[in-house]
Amino acid sequence: MEIQQLYYYMELCKQKNFTEAGYACNMTQGALSKQIRKLENELGITLIRRNTRKFELSKEGEIFLSYAKKMTGTYEAVSYTHLRAHETRRH
């Protein structure tokens, strides 16, 4: 799992549309779909129900969204802390 996949997933959940989310992520709908499918395969769960015309998260997808938000938040906090520590050492 890559951190960028979590950001893609969160954007997809926000946009509720593969085409719009792909645009927001600077990729095609097909490339975004491939990344989400890769994430699902790695997790062994279905995040998005694709058999309907409208966007729909699975139960597992809803749960994973909250984890994705926590993981990216932690990643950003650690990255910021690391950056600040590095800047402090340079002065």
Confidence at residue 40, expressed as pLDDT on a 0 to 100 scale = 97
Distance CA 63, CA 59 (A): 7
> What's the pLDDT score for residue 11?
97
**Helix, strand, coil share (%) of the chain residues, nearest 5:** 75, 0, 25
Amino acid (1-letter code) at residue 36:
I
pTM: 0.84
- Plot region of 44 (φ>0 → left; ψ -120 to 50 → alpha; else → beta): left
Q: What is the pLDDT along the chain (91 residues), one digit of tens a residue?
A: 999 999 999 999 999 999 999 999 999 999 999 999 999 999 999 999 987 677 899 999 999 999 999 999 999 988 777 666 656 666 5
Q: Are 49 and 60 in contact (CB under 8 A)?
A: no
